[in-house]
Each structure stands twice: as C-alpha cells, then as structure tokens.
Structure 1
Amino acid sequence: MKHVFIIGSKGIPAKYGGFETFVDELTKRKVNGDITYHVSCMGENNEEFYYNNARCFNVKVPNAGSAKAVLYDILSIQECIKYIKDNKLSNCIVYILACRIGPFFSKYRKELNRLGAKVWVNPDGHEWKRSKWNYWIRQYWKVSERLMVKHANLLVCDSKGIETYIKDDYSNYSPKTTFIAYGADVTVSPLNDNDEKILNWFKKHELTSKEYYLIVGRFVPENNYELVIREFMKSKSKKDLVIISNIEKNEFYSQLLQNTKFDQDKRIKFVGTVYDQDLLKKIRELAYGYFHGHEVGGTNPSLLEALASTKVNLLLDVVFNKEVGSNGALYFSKGSGNLASLIDNTDQMTSATVEELGIKARKRILDEYSWDKIVSEYEAQFTM
C-alpha cells in the first residue's frame, strides 16, 4: 500500500480555489486500490474524518496573520511525521502544494527521508511576483521557493513553462522534475438556455446571450484588468464586457476607476461574484468570448474552465497561456490598440469560424486537461 500525504490545500470537500479542487478530484476519481490518501485540512479542531475514501485530518492553526499559511504547513508536516512513526509506515510520499516553508523545509525533508518517505513539492506559479504581497513577503516567497526546489525529492510542475523555469533558474541544484497538468471539468452545465436561473441573472444585469464578453478571476493588477478594460473602451464593439470578481473593499477597483473612468462606458459591467457553479458554467457557455489577462503562474484553472465552456477565448500572449490554449484561442499583446483591434475583428467572425474555434478549444481540454487523465498520471507517478 502506498500512503500519500497531501498538505498545503485548505482541505476537502473543496470550498476554495485550485489546490482544493485538485485534491477533491484526485481523491474522488481514485482508481488504484493500492493508494491511500491522507489529506491535511485547516480546521477548528484536530479531529479526523473520511471524505472520498481519503483520511482527512484537521489541523487547528493559531491566527498568525500573513504567517498563518506557513504555520499551517509546518503543523501539517509535523502531523504527517507523527502518523508515519506511530503507524510504522514506510515507502510514503508527502506531497506539499506550494513553496511556503522553504526556510524550515530541509529539516523536515531529512526526517521524512530517514523514515523512508519521499517529499514532493508542487511549486505552483510565480507567487513572489504577485502584487498583493509587499516587498518583504515577496522576498520571503522567492527565498522559500529556492530552498524547497533545492531540497525536494521531486518537483511536480503543473505547467511546462514552470518546469522550464525551475530547471533553468535553479540549474545549480539539478532539480528532479516532472510535468503533470492541472485538470478541468469537461461536462456542460445542467441548466438549459431558458432556465429561470440564467434568465433572471441576464435580466438583473441587462444582458443577452452571446452579446457579452466575460472575465472571471481574482481582481488583482497582475491579471491585467486595466489593459483589457482600456482596450475594450477603445473598441467599436456593441457587446458588453461582464466582469465576475469580488471587488468589495478593493483598493485596486478604486484606482482602476480613477485611471480609466470605465463607469462612463455603459458596456462595462462589474456584476460581483457567482458561487452557483452550474450558473457560472452556463454564463461561460452563453458568452460570446472570454478574456484572460493572467500573466503570473502556471496552468490557470479559470483558463481551463473558459476553454472547456466558451467558444472564443482571447488570451494575453505569454508562455503559460499559449501552452494551454495552443491553436484553440486567439492572442493579444500589451501594445496599445492591439487588443482593441482583435476585439473588433472577433466581433466580425462568421458563425463557422466561432464554431471551429470552440471545437479546438474544447479538444485542448479533452485531450490534455481532463481530470481523468490528470488523476491517471498522478497515480502512475505515485506508484512508480
């Protein structure tokens, strides 16, 4: 029996973001009966429970502000070590999602290796580039990433671009890497086009099927909202630009409004968040096009969801996005007028061209990013 301990997500059942969804899908779709999963969950107690036939163990973490996630990972890895010792397990894998505990990592990796366990790390994206962190936190992230790359037994990269970066920037450590992508849900929304939910949502926001472009994602500067909004305002499009994101108490929103005066363009609509996943999928399916301006990190879950559901996808031309979208998307640069021109041309596409793009986009997901494929690759790697 191979025991795989997964730490670094907030836990399952998934209520949060990409790592939580990954762990949920990995455990739910498990095929290999020789694997037992142990999942760390951030909780209010230290109890155990089972979900998707995985042993889940809560880790209660003191509120340590921005250091809470670091402390959570440390307490989780300590709990893994204790469990392996108490149960005399061997040949285990401890899989750490993200590079938060670099300064403390070598000590725990050595202890786990002495117990016969291997320690894997998913380096995630370029967390040290994210604008939400101040200078000192970004410096910590970079140092932490370096130390975890240096000491990991294996680095599992969910993007070929990230794998190349790890191999090039840390070549002096000769890191051992493998590529396994993030996955996507390839099912269609159970709602039909005339479902009351979608019709009410359209009515509330004065929208019409196939007459809007869409953005879904975290409302942060590195996702290039300002670029997309400025270029959309320059375009001649008669369609709307719908932005689904949490903008409450967001300083960036006020700054963006001041810089662009987007409130003077009635096509641009901030509509808040949509937590109903069936409704969100239907909103994606009925959009004319999707904008993806992310430039930090590896394989982005919202991009995979867009390619699976929306026929026309316009992506910022960076290596991570091109790796995923390939020939199933259109690409824009940061040059003034580039995206505005692409929007105008996209509005004039024939229905046949739109359909062809949609088929290529969905094929990218079915061929390379389906959860069943991803889970199969993980199980093969875990049992090698």
Structure 2
Amino acid sequence: MMPKTPSILILGTRGIPASHGGFETFAEKLALFLAGRGWKVGVYCQEEVERVDQRVRSETWRGIELIHIQVASKGPRATLEFDWQCVRDAARRSAVCLVLGYNGALFLIWLRLMQRKIITNMDGIEWRRPKWGIAARTWFWLNEWIAAWTSHRLVADHPRIADHLSTRRPRKAIATIPYGGDPVTSAPEAPVRALGLEPGKYLVSIARIEPDNNILPIVEAFCRAKRDVKLVVLGTLLDENPYHVAIRKAANETVVLPGAIYDQPTVKALRYHARAYLHGHTVGGTNPSLVEALAAGNMVIAHDNPYNRWVAGAAAIYFTDTDSCSDRMQQAIDDDELVRTCGQAARARAQEAFRWDDVLLAYEKEAYRLLGVTNTEAMAIDDTSPGTA
C-alpha cells in the first residue's frame, strides 16, 4: 500500500551539495529527484571539527534535509565515527536507508536490529585493490559480507559486480543499476585555454591517482614518443606519496598536472574539448568518470578488462600494457575518422545505458519495493508524481 509521504535517508557519502566524487554527485541527483516527486529526503553530511559541540544538526537545502554530523577525528577513524553516528541517528527515524558503499557495514547490524529497511549500493570490490595491506583488505572483505547479509536489497552498478555479489546472496536480492551521465553538447573554451591547452589538442585522464588506475603507465606511455598533443592528468598529487612522486618524475614538459579540479564547468570543458579520454581503471564496476566521458562524446582509450569493455563498448580502443597504451594514443592522435566514430558511439552508449532518469527511477522503484509498493502502483506513481515529464 502506498505510504502517504515516503521517506528515505542517504548514508555513506561526505554529503551534498556535491564537491568530492561520484557518490556525492549521485546522492545529490537522487535527493533532488525524489524530493521533487514527493519524498521526504534526508542526506547525512560529514562535518570535521576540532571539538564536537553539536553532534547532529539539520538544515534544509532545496527541499532536502541535510543532516550534519560533527566528528573530531581525522582520516579513516573520522569516516568510521561518521558512519556510526549516521547509523545511530537513522535508527531513530522511520525511513528507507540507502547506504552508498560498504566500508562501515559493521554498523548496519544496528540498523537491521532496529528494523529499518536497508538498500546498499555495493560499489566496487574494494578488498581487491592492490594499494591495501592485509589488515585493510580483511576489513573490507568482512564488511562486504556483512553488508550483503544485513541489507534487504543490494545494488550492483555493473553486471560483473552483480555476478560477484551472487556468490554472497541469491540473485533475487540483487538489482543492477549503473551510474548516470549528463550529456555535454557544448562547453566554453576559456577553462581549457586557461590551463595552456588548445581544444582538440590534448588527451585527458580524470581519476584518483592510484596504482590500480594505471596513471603511471599512462604517463610513461605518453612520454615514450614525441607527440603533437599534450596529456592532462587531473588528480591530487602528494609529495609524500611515492607513487605520486614517480608520476612527476615520469612526466615531461608536454604533461600537464593541474591537481584535482572540482569545479564542474571546468571539468566538463576539459572532457568536451579533449581529443580522447584515458581510462586506466582495472578494479570496480561502472566508473562515474568513464560514464561522464561517454556522455561528453569522448573517444576513450581504456584498459582492456570486462568492466571497461561493458561500459564503453565500441566507443573505446583498448590497451593491456605500456606499449599498447602508447600505440593507442598515437592511433587516437593520427586518425580523425576513428576519433569521430568513437565519439558517436560514446554518445549512443550513454543514451542507451546511462541516462540519469532511468537510473534514478530504478532507485525509486527499489525504495518503494521495501515500502511494500507493488510494481503496478509504482508505475502509476511514475505517471502522476510531481516532476514527471
């Protein structure tokens, strides 16, 4: 039976308005979407302070309750403290709980004991990332299992992630819902030129600077030959991180390292005016940055693995090592027709599989399912809810 005012809480991100990454962007889009369709929406936001003087406070932003949680810790401990305090607060409220990621899934046991309905987006297979030591991998592995069995519904953002989760829970408990991307059909040149770049004369990588994203091999591959274009690598580079130091040493004068850029108009312009987008990710499911590249009509040069193959399809040419990466870069630089064809395939793939409206409606359907709303009722809601086109 349809609840009078359906309610949902979003946990697991640093908060909104989005300024950090893919999960925050998704949380903002879903919160605004559901609020526009009559839902009561709350989003937990992390507030790091020197001393906790008001653990929980709320404010309203565009019809959404922003639930600020103060934490006085730093680093991973702050994240765990935040997750626990979010769960404690959510357990006192009557709402479906959408949890993004499973890194603090141990605390979901409390939500389940308090009879709250839980949907968990299981993100990637975190414990497989090579950057983690044995203790961190063990923690992630255990929490993956805990999330799988404490959540009522699991969301996989990629068919391969769904296959993996089916080793934890029956298929009937798993929904496959990818990430979405906003089409980018134009962008000003000024943000690109401000970085000393010429539209169409650079390749771009937008990713966390980590070994499993192959950033160092990408830089090394680009610098192997004299190119007529530049390489732009967006992402934070720290002087105390050996991997980051190695990237700086490998880069020559044609590699631009502007650091992390969170200004979305600038990032969109960098994608739109790039000759090709480089994607070296090897672990995970449907990566937001790759989807956004497709939505911008980018030709993609991607690491060859089942995750990237499913997402990018014919929009990409693929590499397996530094040598093949160097070859694919030169191919993208030399072949105008290939760039055009891949760009068309990118937009087609984005429209086919990664439309935000489809993604957000799928999440709403999952939330209604936990509230006991039937498919027929949900379809009727789709036709009559505020904000429906």
TM over 0.5: yes
Q: Does 1:158 align with 2:157?
A: yes
Q: Secondary structure at the match of 2:178?
A: coil
Residue-by-residue CA offset, 1:31-55 (whole Å, 9 max, x unaligned): 7634221211113542111223122
- Could you say which residue in structure 1 is the equivalent of 2:387? none
Give the match's secondary structure for 1:13: coil
- Matched with 2:348 is 363
Find the aligned partners of 2:199 and 2:104 in 1 and give their Cα distance: 46
Q: 2:224 matched to which residue of 1?
A: 234
Distance 1:52 1:130, change over 3 A: farther
Q: How do 1:342-353 and structure 2 match up within 5 A? A: 342-350=328-336, 352-353=337-338
Any gaps of 5 or more consecutive residues in structure 1?
85-91
| 1:292 equivalent in alignment to 2:296 | no
SS in 2 for 1:275: coil
On the 8 A contact 1:210/1:288 being kept in 2, the answer is yes
Aligned residue runs from structure 1 range 281-360, under 5 A = 281-334=268-321, 337-350=323-336, 352-360=337-345
Report the TM-score when normalising by structure 2: 0.85
Residue 208 of structure 1: aligned partner: 198
Which blocks of at least 5 consecutive residues in structure 2 are unaligned? 370-389
Distance 2:231 2:176 in 1: 35
Aligned to 1:119: 118
Change (3 A) 1:362 1:31: farther
Task: Tell me, in whole angstroms, the C-alpha distance in 2 between the residues paired with 1:105 and 1:80.
Answer: 10
Aligned ranges 1:65-84 → 2 under 5 Å:
65-84=75-94
Q: 1:235 to 1:310 in 2, by over 3 A?
A: farther
1:13 aligned partner, one-letter code: P
CA 1:190/1:383 → structure 2, altered by over 3 Å: closer, same or farther? same
Identity of aligned residues (%): 25
Q: Residues 341-371 of structure 1, C-alpha deviation per residue, up to 9 Å, x if partnerless?
A: 2222222213x33222111101211222122
Q: 1:110 aligns with which of 83, 103, 113?
A: 113
The change in CA–CA distance for 1:366 and 1:312 in structure 2 (over 3 A counts) is same
Q: CA deviation digits over 1:8-39, x for unaligned, max 9?
A: 11111112111111111112233763422121
Equivalent pair of 2:87/2:108 in contact (CA under 8 Å): no
Name the TM-score, length of structure 1 as normaliser.
0.86
Query: Which stretch of structure 1 is more off in the superposition, 360-369 or 173-182?
Result: 173-182
Q: For residue 166 of structure 1, what is the amino acid of its counterpart?
A: L
- Of 351, 362, 365, 1:377 maps to 362
- Is the 8 Å Cα contact of residues 6 and 40 (structure 1) preserved in structure 2? yes
Q: Which moved more, 1:323-332 or 1:30-39?
A: 30-39
Residue number in structure 1 paired with 2:70: 60
Deviates more, 1:98-107 or 1:312-321: 98-107
Aligned length: 358
Counterparts of 1:82 and 1:159, CA distance in 2: 33
Give the secondary-structure state (helix, strand or coil) at the position aligned to 2:93.
Answer: helix
Distance in 2 (alpha carbons) for counterparts of 1:321 and 1:187? 21
* Counterpart selection for 1:251 from 236, 242, 252: 242
Q: Deviations over 1:105-148 (max 9, x none)?
A: 33431322xxxx31111111122233454331221111111111
Distance (Å, rounded) in 1 between the aligned partners of 2:353 and 2:198:
32
Give the 3-state SS of the residue equivalent to 1:40 in structure 2. strand
- What is the letter of the counterpart of residue 254 of structure 1? V
Q: Which amino acid aligns with 2:279?
A: H
- 1:64, 1:277 → 2: CA distance? 27
Aligned to 1:11: 15
- 1:121-140 counterparts in 2 under 5 A? 121-140=120-139
The amino acid of 1:93's aligned partner reads: V
SS in structure 1 at match of 2:166:
helix
Q: Is the 8 A contact 1:3 1:35 kept in 2?
A: yes
* Farther-moved stretch of structure 1 (288-297 vs 275-284): 275-284
- Structure 1 residue 61: Cα displacement: 2.1
